[in-house]
Amino acid sequence: PFALGPRISNWDQQRAEWLSTHQNVTKNKFGRERVILISGSASKPCRNSVGDHLLVKSLKNKVDYTRLHDIELFYSMAVVDSQMSSFWVKHPMIRKMMLTHPEAEWIWWMDSDAMFTDMTFEIPFHKYEDHNMIIHGFEDLLFEKNSWVGINAGSFLMRNCQWSLDMLDAWTSMGHPRVAVEYGKKLSEVLLDRPIFDSDDQSVLAYLLVTQTQKWAPKVYLENSYYLHGYWVIIADRYEDIMANNKPGTGDEKWPFVTHFVGCKPCGKEASYGIKRCVLQMERAFNFGDNQILQRYGYQHRTLNSSKEIGRVRVDSADPLGLGLPTVSVP
Ligand code: UDP
Ligand code: MN
């Protein structure tokens, strides 16, 4: 069968052996299992003038979230396997990260067109002790309707283990350019609402889960109690309401964890939605997330519709640490 790199069959043993002599590096500064977040974009400039600006904002958004939670961030602009480009760049990169970072328990992929919109929410890892993959999805849509949108591959996590290496091989074997056209047709036969186009990673994952359910599904947690991926169309015009009525930390429809701009191509062409609408809503998602950062320093964006102006939301104190030390008189 297809393999992304030299075949490894005993990664669990290799990693356990390594961990037994590196126990001091397996936890982050909050004492939690280490997570590496990977995102990335092409090495070329965008074909429109606004795309690179949006990519910087999306990257800053990830820098902010990962700094707050002591998650390591890796941003890739490389195509590490020349055969695997566009949405297939994720998989070789995830494998590389697993093998070079045995200290990390989870590798998390997040698309460049997805942003954190709940800066305080944390993934409840205790729920996933018996699982090796976490992805936003719905059982009925996937297994009853065989829908290619039953899951979303824009934000998902894989445990650093042999199962994940095997899954990555099975997954990418259907994305190789030699077979992408042929599998594209096959995917659309099984996934009933999928138009015919070359095989894409989301559809292949859905296909594997639907056609080899016993083999893969038991270790895949389809999460929908919070927005590991959130479809921007049902979120982005509610941000003002959300701020007025709710508090961050829930990650669900009350305060969505991630807003993902599915169907927008902020850096490219052939989008399903108008570029103006996509750009405005990406700005809004960024400002909504950024407000939760700026607030810590006493500022807020004046409006979600533009990042240009911020305003003060509190009066700064001469005793910022709240220690109540006597003041020193200046002569
Ligand atoms: N990507 C990348 N390099 C590329 C093309 C894509 O790193 O050359 C990443 C990027 O983060 C993007 C993700 O792969 O969000 C998924 O690719 P897709 O073509 O589905 O783009 P999207 O629709 O998410 O913008
Ligand atoms: Mn995307």
Contact 168, 91 (CB under 8 A): yes
Cα 192 from chain centre:
26
- Is the ipTM higher than 0.95? The answer is yes
Over 83-144, what HEC string results? Answer: CCCHHHHHHHHHHHHHHHCCCCCEEEEECCCEEECCCCCCCCHHHHCCCCEEEEECHHHHHH
Mean pLDDT of 157-181: 95
Mean pLDDT of 57-83: 94
Residue 261 has pLDDT above 90, yes or no: yes
Phi, psi at residue 307, to the nearest 5°?
Answer: -90, 0
Q: How far is the CA of 22 from the centre of ligand 1 (A)?
A: 34
73: helix, strand or coil: strand
Ligand index nearest the alpha carbon of residue 90: 1
Mean pLDDT of 222-240: 98
pLDDT of residue 269: 79
Q: How far is the CA of 114 from the centre of ligand 1 (A)?
A: 10
Residue 1 has pLDDT above 80, yes or no: no
pLDDT band at 206 (very low <50, low <70, confident <90, very high): very high
Q: Global pTM? A: 0.96
Residue at 136: amino acid letter: H
* Nearest ligand 1 atom to alpha carbon 263: 23
Ligand index nearest the alpha carbon of residue 267: 1
Ligand index nearest the alpha carbon of residue 155: 2
pLDDT of residue 67: 98
Mean pLDDT of 11-17: 98
pLDDT band at 197 (very low <50, low <70, confident <90, very high): very high
pLDDT of residue 222: 98
Q: Which residues line ligand 1 (CB under 6 A)?
A: 39-42, 76, 85-87, 89-90, 111-113, 154, 265
| C-alpha angle 77-82-83 in degrees, rounded to nearest 5 | 125
